[in-house]
Structure 1
């Protein structure tokens, strides 16, 4: 073996010590280069089970991917769906968007197709139907506010909350009655929203308000507004509910908020135009989909280590990475790619993209249902 000169040895020892000190300083977190995974490899994937649903704005449809068989079923719905959400028990699917046909009249090349719903001036709809259904014939259609963007459902599946971007409000829907029972004022242009793990609060990202509205579920009232940065799009709670991560589309960053103090903790640089964020069940990582624009699409997913609040991995999917959801067991992460018309799967253990499958046109929102439900 060739011996190194003493000065080279000293440099090597110093470099090793420096790397070790950085690992300690970052709490064991070190970023790694972007990694590419195989493309156009459809499920089934080894060990995969359950179903993934994507909201396809380009053709007024929802796609259901059977992860065990690889079968993709796409069914038309009476709205142009921007977001889709499964109920806690896995029995019902909730989809929101402008009424089908409205967006066909919106002619604007300046607005990405995944956010065209914000240009609507007519009331939109919430569709509620059986998650196992092969069509939406028996679905309940509820008229909500203008420019509906996202929907969340309480643990019992009794109330659904829909953000209406053009009304600066959240509609509260009685799921059993299929009717709006109240409306909650928020900061300007509410978009993504999620309920805290304890079910007591809802955090709503307001893209034009540059803030997050905090809603008290018991009283259906806005408690406060937290300034976070430019154009917040979606929020994601850690499983213990102590932190919320918010994508800042126009800052190319993710904001971190302490839910106890309701103050901004830090801001983390990510890819271009981040859209959705989602935490792993163990609370260790946040996955961030970076969409970019139609003119300059991004195709990456930033992986944030929660303990260090730094990006430790950047993964490459397909053009227009938009929606994010993690399987209940934490083994897989699913990404909708709006401009590519695909859903990519990430193996969480290896941090690799292991496949992509084609769904409907311009998929945005995404949700996961376990096979046992």
Structure 2
């Protein structure tokens, strides 16, 4: 049966996410993890790393693509809608958020918890599944590899997963409708975009508490943070803008981008922020805005497929990879030429994207 899902940003006016999956059953572990589940993943060779990027497909799968050839080398099928993926800092583990299918007429389905799934990036084997909150959105690892955090969009909080035990050790309240976020390089702060209340929650990962909120603009979707922790970028979907925030002073400056910006990614040199402009399913956008963080100007607008949503750069910064939700593809962009040089067909409704470090 063909899997279907509704894009998370298609109902922004309601400030809620409505996702359809493919079945109500959670995926089963294919292999028993050794000890804490990381033994198999840690046996990868250096040669195996830096070879793949992954897309989260809301139609019920994860696509694994070879970086050198841009060919899909594996498809991991799951029961439900995969909204986001993230590769761990050591490249050994892939984290993914899974939303179970909602069945109309069953009130209990609204209370179904989502899952964080963890896979071996080389073998594609499921290491562990961890129950989190309702409608998990994004998953991000701390740079030190100690934790994985998951935003629970309907519970207004973040689940903190200890990667040693694969268990939720803390739940941190946020603003309404937490969605995309990034964690500072020193693993101390998480910056969570709260779509339901136009704020960014700053979470202190030492105290495990929300330290403050930043008012960046209307309908923030995702954040990015420079490696020095001084500059925060936030996509403002309702304003068609990127907010650039001085973390110390709190000063906010806005840069106009394309229609309906979704995700943003800061390049390895902290020079450019790449903004994927999604638009809506009815009137999709099809571009990426390349913003110079220092000059606060759009230096290029790059054509993509319909519904550009997820974005990531290669570790060397030479290429940008963008998921196109409404034509089931990834655009491969040469950042020097500022144009797409290849299009890759992936799973249904690709959303989040992540690459091996």
Alignment TM-score, normalising by the size of structure 2: 0.82
Taking the aligned partners of 1:131 and 1:147, their CA distance within structure 2 comes to: 24
1:34-53 matches, within 5 Å, as 50-53=51-54
Give the 5 Å matches for 1:118-157.
Answer: 121-134=111-124, 136=125, 138-157=126-145
Mapped contact 2:143–2:186 kept (Cα < 8 A) = no
What does residue 342 of structure 2 align with?
A: 355
Selected match of 1:313 from 286, 291, 300:
300
Q: CA deviation at 1:57?
A: 0.3
> Corresponding residue for 1:90?
91
Check whether the contact 1:159–1:172 (CA below 8 A) recurs between aligned residues: yes
Report if the CA contact (8 A) 1:228-1:264 is conserved. Answer: no
List alignment gaps of at least 5 residues for structure 1. Answer: 1-48, 108-118
Runs of 4+ in 1 over 3 A off after TM superposition: none
- Please give the alpha-carbon distance, in whole angstroms, between the structure 2 residues aligned to 1:250 and 1:153: 28
Kindly indicate whether residue 66 of structure 2 is the aligned counterpart of residue 66 of structure 1.
yes
| Contact 1:233/1:249, CA 8 A, preserved across alignment | yes
Q: What residue number does 2:164 align with?
A: 176
CA distance in 2, matches of 1:308, 1:124: 41
Aligned to 2:42: none
Please show how residues 331-342 of structure 1 align to structure 2 within 5 Å: 331-342=318-329
Question: Which deviates further from its counterpart, 171-180 or 288-297?
Answer: 171-180
Larger Rg: 1
Q: 1:164 to 1:351 in 2, by over 3 A?
A: same
Q: CA deviation at 1:283?
A: 1.3
Gaps of 5+ in 2: 1-49
1:158 aligns with 2:159: no
Q: CA deviation at 1:77?
A: 2.7
2:253 pairs with 1:266: yes
Judged with a 3 Å threshold, the aligned counterparts in structure 2 of structure 1 residues 264 and 120 are, in CA distance, closer, same or farther, namely farther
Aligned counterparts of 1:295 and 1:121: Cα–Cα separation in 2: 30
Q: Is the 8 A contact 2:61 2:82 kept in 1?
A: yes
The RMSD of aligned alpha carbons is 1.6
Alpha carbons of structure 1 residues 131 and 348: separation in structure 2 relative to 1, 3 Å: same
* 2:210 is the alignment partner of 1:256: no
Could you tell me how far apart the structure 2 residues matched to 1:306 and 1:276 are? Answer: 16
The answer for the alignment partner of 1:232 in structure 2 is: 220
Q: TM-score, normalised by structure 1?
A: 0.79
**Secondary structure of 1:145 counterpart:** coil
Equivalent position SS for 1:199: coil
| Aligned residues of 2:143 and 2:185 also touching (Cα < 8 A) | no
Aligned position for 2:32: none
Partners of 1:181 and 1:266 in 2: CA distance: 36
**How many angstroms apart in 1 are the aligned matches of 2:51 and 2:331?**
15
| Higher-RCO chain (CA-CA 8 Å, sequence separation at least 6) | 1
How big is the shift at 1:177?
A: 1.7
Task: Select 1:299's aligned residue among 286, 289, 308.
Answer: 286
- What's 1:345 paired with? 332
CA-CA distance at 1:307 after TM superposition:
1.7
Aligned-pair CA distance for 1:97: 2.4
Aligned to 2:227, the other structure's residue is in SS state coil
Can you list the C-alpha shifts for 1:59-94, whole angstroms capped at 9, x where unaligned?
Answer: x11001102234302111344210000000000000
Following superposition, the deviation at residue 350 of structure 1 comes to 1.5
CA contact 2:144–2:187 (8 Å) conserved in 1: no
1:193 aligns with 2:206: no
Native 8 Å contact 1:98 1:120 kept in 2: no
**1: distance between equivalents of 2:87 and 2:219?**
26
CA distance in 1, matches of 2:144, 2:99: 26
The 2-side partners of 1:81 and 1:194 are apart by 19
Contact 2:71 2:344 in 1 (8 A): no
Q: What is the Cα deviation at residue 176 of structure 1?
A: 2.6
Report how far residue 158 of structure 1 moved.
2.3
